[in-house]
Amino acid sequence: MAINIPEPTHARAAPSHPDPYAYYGRLAREQPMARDAVNGWWVAASAAAVNEVLTSEICLTRPADGPVPVALRDGAMGEIFGRLVRLRDDEARKPLKHALLAALRGLDLAEVGRLARARAAELDDELGLPLDESKTTQFMFALPVQVIAQLLGVPAARYGDVMSWLGDYGAGTASAATGVPAASPELFARGHRGAQALLELFAGLSKDGGGPLLNALLREARDAGCGDERDVVINAIGYMIQGYAATASLIGSTLLVLARQPSLRRQVEENRALLRDVIQEVLRCDPGTNSTIRFMAQDGVIAGQTVRQGEMIIVLIAAANRDPALNPDPDRFDMARPDRKYLELGTGPHACPADKFAPFIAMIAVDHLLSRGVPLDRLESALSYAASGHIRTPLFKR
Ligand code: HEM
pLDDT tier at 133, thresholds 50, 70, 90: very high
Domain presence at residue 120: yes
* Residue-averaged pLDDT of the chain: 97
* Inside any domain, residue 397: no
Q: Is residue 234 part of a domain?
A: yes
Instruction: Give the CA radius of gyration of the chain.
Output: 20
Q: Residue 352 C-alpha to ligand 1 middle, in angstroms?
A: 4
Please state whether the predicted TM-score (pTM) of the whole model is above 0.95. yes
91-94: long-range pairs with CB below 8 Å, 24+: 92/226, 92/228, 92/231
pLDDT band at 206 (very low <50, low <70, confident <90, very high): confident
What is the pLDDT, as a whole number, of residue 3?
58
Which amino acid residue places its CA nearest to atom 15 of ligand 1? 350
Distances (CA, A) of 260 to 333, 340, 348: 11, 21, 34
Residue 233 placed within a domain: yes
As separate numbers, helices (DSSP H) first and strands (DSSP E) second, the chain gives 16, 9
Report pLDDT for 113. 98
Scanning 179-211, the segments in alpha helix (DSSP H) are: 185-208
Ligand 1: which of 80, 107, 352 to mutate, judged by most atoms within 8 Å of the beta carbon?
352
Distance 81 CA to ligand 1 centre (A): 15
| Rounded mean pLDDT, 293-304 | 98
What is the best residue among 242, 284, 295, 342 to mutate for testing ligand 1's pocket, by most ligand atoms within 8 Å of CB?
Answer: 242
Instruction: Please write the tens of the pLDDT for every residue from 27-72.
Output: 999 999 999 999 999 999 999 999 999 999 999 999 999 899 999 9
Name residues whose C-beta falls within 8 Å of residue 174's C-beta, 6 or more positions apart in sequence: 180, 181, 388, 389
Sign of CA pseudo-dihedral 91, 353, 324, 33: negative
CATH number of the domain encompassing residue 382: 1.10.630.10
CB of 177 within 6 A of ligand 1: the answer is: no
Asked if residue 181 has a cis previous peptide bond (ω within 30° of 0), the answer is yes
3-state secondary structure of 223: helix
| Burial of 305 from C-beta contacts in 10 A (0-12 / 13-18 / 19+) | middle
What value does the mean pLDDT take over residues 219-239?
96
How many angstroms is it from 106 CA to the middle of ligand 1?
Answer: 17
Would you say the CB of residue 100 lies under 6 angstroms from ligand 1? yes
Query: In this model, does residue 221 exceed pLDDT 80?
Result: yes
- The residue range of the domain holding 301 is 30-386
Question: Which ligand 1 atom is at minimum distance from the Cα of 239?
Answer: 29
For residue 383, the cross-strand partners are 396
pLDDT confidence of residue 5: 87
Instruction: Give the pLDDT confidence of 346-389 residue by residue, as tens digits.
Output: 999 999 999 999 999 999 999 999 999 999 999 999 999 999 99
Q: What is the pLDDT of residues 96-114, one digit of tens each?
A: 999 999 999 999 999 999 9
Residue 332 in this model has a pLDDT that exceeds 90? yes
Cβ(43)–Cβ(314) below 8 Å: yes
Q: How confident is residue 259, by pLDDT bands cut at 50, 70 and 90?
A: very high
60 in a structural domain: yes
Ligand 1 and 85: CB distance under 6 A = yes
> Does residue 11 belong to any structural domain of this protein?
no
State the distance between the two ends of the chain, measured CA to CA, in whole angstroms: 18
Ligand 1 atom nearest the C-alpha of 104 is: 30
- Atom 41 of ligand 1 has which residue's CA nearest to it? 350
CB within 8 Å of 131: residues ≥ 6 apart: 139, 369, 372, 373, 374, 375
Residue 9 lies in a domain: no
Is 132 a pocket residue for ligand 1 (Cβ < 6 Å)? no
DSSP 391: B
Q: What is the share, in percent, of the chain residues with pLDDT greater than 90?
A: 97
Q: Residue 259: how many CA atoms within 13 Å on its side-chain side?
A: 23
Residue of 53, 51, 52, 34 lying closest to 43 (CA atoms):
34
* Number of domains forming the structure of the chain: 1
In a domain, 251, yes or no: yes
Residue 1 has pLDDT above 70, yes or no: no
Q: Once rounded to an integer, what is the mean pLDDT over residues 120-136?
A: 98
User: Does residue 246 have its Cβ closer than 6 Å to ligand 1?
Assistant: yes
According to the model, what pLDDT value does residue 323 have? 98
241 Cα: distance to centroid of ligand 1 (angstroms): 9
pLDDT of residue 209: 78
Say how many Å lie between the CA of residue 358 and the centre of ligand 1.
Answer: 9
Q: Tens of pLDDT along 166-190? A: 999 999 999 999 999 999 999 999 9
- For residue 2, pLDDT over 70 is answered with no
Which residue from 16, 10, 17, 61 is spatially nearest to 31, judged by alpha carbons?
Answer: 10
CB-based burial of residue 37 (10 Å sphere; 0-12 exposed, 13-18 middle, 19+ buried)?
exposed
The 3-state secondary structure of 3-18 reads CCCCCCCCHHHCCCCC
